[in-house]
Structure 1
Amino acid sequence: MKIRLMAAMLAATVVLPFAAANATDLEVTHWWTSGGEAAAVAELAKAFDATGNKWVDGAIAGSGATARPIMISRITGGDPMAATQFNHGRQAEELVEAGLMRDLTDVATRENWKEVIKPSSLLDSCTIDGKIYCAPVNIHSWQWLWLSNAAFEKAGVAVPKNWDEFVAAAPALEKAGIVPLAIGGQAWQAAGAFDVLMVAIAGKDVYQKVFGDKDADVAAGPEIAKVFKAADDARRMSKGTNVQDWNQATNMVITGKAGGQIMGDWAQGEFALAGQTAGKDYTCLPGLGVNEIISTGGDAFYFPLLKDEEKSKAQEVLASTLVSPAVQVAFNLKKGSLPVRGDVDLAAANDCMKKGLDILAKGNVIEGADQLLSADSQKQKEDLFSEFFANPSLTPEDAQKRFAEIIASAE
């Protein structure tokens, strides 16, 4: 559904150079409210406040699926914030096309974003009709399986090295009273887990054909049937999770109540907050230990057009601050994500982050589903997998048919 616009929002503001900006307060909305996320956001706020301006935190509790409609409603309703989080991809596309988002091309050109932001697909996701509309802040990859070393020790089995070993260990975990796989009740968690299984089991090329090329025949074919078989295993192993939020599921791994979790690398922020050490207390398997690939999803900040000239100037300061080298290091070390700059030193990275950086350096990357599918298509996919994980009577075969129909009409 196209966004309904208010004529009052169409007035453009004057863009002045970064150096001319004066101190002012900027409200920044986002959905980073878990403990680890809050610690990372504090680094952004501290850096912006150090410019003489003030970060006014507009955190919205819940997931992006909860926050985005609120953010969009405010922008289209004439009450825009100064900056707002969206995922890399097409979530803000209609807002940009409607003329409601600020063009950051001058800032990006002045600070050589095209040269320093890697991979180039991150900035491509910010670019519409040759103009840059957002400041990327991290690379978040979905392609991880997080394992509790204590849970496997209690179950008397070795920590798995790949997905097949993890599935094989499930009975021993269950016998020890441990949920093998923690998946929260939010729809995006189920859909994200399926995407990770697709890359691990069907491979990078099939993933691209389905989500990039929108090939419904491949989506209905035998390779994706194998993925649905794995998703059925995941559904069985996640029975008994009984939590809603992703960080609650992560906490089950941290406390040894669950053997593992398929989740993006933002989970690392929760492990760090709990004082756990990668390689000692928990194990990470990029690509589920099968295909070591990083998806270049993550987060960027967009800047709605404002009528207040001073706030408009300060928006440039914030955009510059978010991409600056020191902020990239401080923020991403807390967040568990990888920096968007290819020229920063992350010597302090833990074992799991180093694995991610190594995969990124090798170029083993794919674009995230948010970058390849429209928000509407993503929502249809999330609805399907929410039902699939919640309803055992929905067979893998029937679910695959519905999945292929979604891909056939995907944008």
Structure 2
Amino acid sequence: MNTFKHFLAGASVLALSVTANAAELEVTHWWTSGGEAAAVAEFAKAFEATGNTWVDGAIAGGGSTARPVMVSRITGGSPMGATQFNTGRQAEELVEAGLMRDFTELAEKENWKEVIRPANLLEGCTVDGKVYCVPVNIHSWQWLWLSNKAFEDAGVPVPTNWDEFVAAGPALEKAGKIPLAIGGQSWQTTGTFNVLIPAIAGKDVFLKVYQDHDAEVAAGPEIAKVFKAADDARRLSAKSNVQDWNQATNLVITGQAGGQIMGDWAQGEFQVAGQVAGKDYTCLPGLGVNELISTGGDSFYFPKLDDADKTAAQEVLASTMLNPQTQVAFNLKKGSVPVRGDVDVSAANDCMKKGLDILAKGNIIPDTNQLNTEDTNNQLNDLFVEFFKTPSMTPEEAQKRYADIIASAD
């Protein structure tokens, strides 16, 4: 803990000279929940320590709401100073259109290739050999978060895997609990399904479907098992009537729901609520079945600007976000893992340590955003929203449509 205090004490004393011509820089993102706001404040504090001004451009509603706004502003000639996207292919067309800054020189100067781990994070920022974004965290979707209180109230042990969780559903319902909390945003149901794939069918099937776009596998027996599990998830979440992901997390925090399949950013909400991993809540990486984690996350892109001072400030912000002290301060509040492999994370909680251990073992898969285009993701979102909202749609019908989407994916 002393080491961590040293890191925090130095969080605002960056290895950067204070900017000669300070500038205001608008930074757009979709981090608006309690845990997310606490985390992004660490970026703002560190950037302002350089003499520049962070103008917060938070957009509520999550990435699916924010990204079209961000893209419209950039393509419409009203760019922000920096903007969040998920690490992967979401900004690919903006880069190809020549609207984003090339940070290859800074990346080489600061040895990003040597310190950012795993390597595919920086590769996700690289187009035609040039670096166009700054990865800031490693986020994994592959988690089942459980309320210890909900299971205690229901008189059943806290599950250790997905099958035990499904089996506990009736007891939770009898105790007046929602077994599985899922919000109404489209990406949440798709995310739930994509977590079930490596847990139920395994890593190889996941890669064959999303990396190789193998429609035969998507239509086959292993994915049929996944749709059976998704059918269980649909039934268990039938009374989950919230919209936002953090509202669903709050149902778990308050013991109103047994569990939630959600990325490790949920940890930030448990932390803000003062809950302790292993005592108040339990986390099951890989749903307690296959302990794999995906290496997705968030990156910041910097649109080309005409203002010289703002352009200089962009470079300062890019460097600040990867500063070791800032990486620790931000990620411990975000619930994610730092992208730098050379920082001290001894203050991490039990769940983050589980993720770090899995990462160290190399039990990883790419995030779907690193493999799918936005068009493919949107088609999947539409399918799974309909599936979860339409009990009459059979798993077999949904799988056929799913295989068609995979067959046409690019």
Fold match (TM-score > 0.5): yes
Equivalent residue number for residue 303 of structure 1: 302
Displacement after TM superposition at 1:91 (Å):
0.4
In structure 1, distance between residues paired with 2:304 and 2:297: 23
Distance 1:401 1:150, change over 3 A: same
Kept in 2: contact 1:18–1:317 (CA 8 A): no
SS of the counterpart of 2:336?
A: coil
In structure 2, distance between residues paired with 1:386 and 1:98: 32
Equivalent residue number for residue 343 of structure 2: 344
What code does the residue aligned with 2:130 have?
K
Equivalent residue number for residue 216 of structure 1: 215
Equivalent residue number for residue 45 of structure 2: 46
Kept in 2: contact 1:37–1:269 (CA 8 A): yes
Equivalent residue number for residue 36 of structure 1: 35
What code does the residue aligned with 2:256 have?
K
Equivalent residue number for residue 407 of structure 1: 406
- Shifted more, 18-27 versus 336-345: the winner is 18-27
In structure 2, distance between residues paired with 1:129 and 1:21: 33
SS of the counterpart of 1:28?
A: strand
Equivalent residue number for residue 145 of structure 1: 144
What code does the residue aligned with 1:373 have?
N
Equivalent residue number for residue 197 of structure 1: 196
Equivalent residue number for residue 100 of structure 2: 101
In structure 1, distance between residues paired with 2:17 and 2:53: 16
Identity %: 76
Kept in 2: contact 1:190–1:385 (CA 8 A): yes
Equivalent residue number for residue 238 of structure 1: 237
Kept in 2: contact 1:18–1:316 (CA 8 A): no
Alignment RMSD (CA, Å): 1.0
Structure 1 runs of 4+ aligned residues shifted over 2 Å read: 17-22
Equivalent residue number for residue 7 of structure 1: none
Distance 1:294 1:402, change over 3 A: same
In structure 2, distance between residues paired with 1:255 and 1:383: 30
Q: Deviations over 1:166-212 (max 9, x none)?
A: 00000100000001000000100000000000010000010000000
Equivalent residue number for residue 335 of structure 1: 334
In structure 1, distance between residues paired with 2:289 and 2:205: 15
Q: Deviations over 1:292-334 (max 9, x none)?
A: 1110111000000000011001100000000110011000000
Distance 1:22 1:178, change over 3 A: same
Kept in 1: contact 2:19–2:50 (CA 8 A): no
User: How many residues are aligned here?
Assistant: 395
SS of the counterpart of 2:357?
A: helix
- Unmatched segments (≥5 aa) in structure 1: 1-16
Kept in 2: contact 1:28–1:83 (CA 8 A): yes
In structure 2, distance between residues paired with 1:59 and 1:172: 40
- Unmatched segments (≥5 aa) in structure 2: 1-15
Displacement after TM superposition at 1:22 (Å):
2.7
SS of the counterpart of 2:409?
A: coil
Displacement after TM superposition at 1:394 (Å):
1.0
In structure 2, distance between residues paired with 1:45 and 1:273: 19
Kept in 1: contact 2:160–2:284 (CA 8 A): yes
Displacement after TM superposition at 1:23 (Å):
1.2
Equivalent residue number for residue 174 of structure 1: 173
In structure 2, distance between residues paired with 1:73 and 1:383: 22
Displacement after TM superposition at 1:20 (Å):
7.1
What code does the residue aligned with 1:309 have?
A
In structure 2, distance between residues paired with 1:230 and 1:208: 19
Equivalent residue number for residue 12 of structure 2: none
Displacement after TM superposition at 1:21 (Å):
5.8
Equivalent residue number for residue 259 of structure 2: 260
SS of the counterpart of 2:168?
A: helix
User: After superposition, where does 1:6-45 map in structure 2 within 5 Å?
Assistant: 22-45=21-44
SS of the counterpart of 1:240?
A: coil
Displacement after TM superposition at 1:18 (Å):
8.7
In structure 1, distance between residues paired with 2:380 and 2:121: 23
Is 1:370 aligned to residue 361 of structure 2?
Answer: no
In structure 2, distance between residues paired with 1:404 and 1:66: 27
In structure 1, distance between residues paired with 2:316 and 2:385: 40
Kept in 2: contact 1:329–1:339 (CA 8 A): yes
In structure 1, distance between residues paired with 2:33 and 2:390: 28
In structure 2, distance between residues paired with 1:362 and 1:50: 37
Kept in 1: contact 2:293–2:358 (CA 8 A): yes
What code does the residue aligned with 2:350 have?
D
Displacement after TM superposition at 1:252 (Å):
0.2
In structure 2, distance between residues paired with 1:341 and 1:203: 28
Kept in 1: contact 2:17–2:50 (CA 8 A): no
In structure 2, distance between residues paired with 1:361 and 1:18: 34
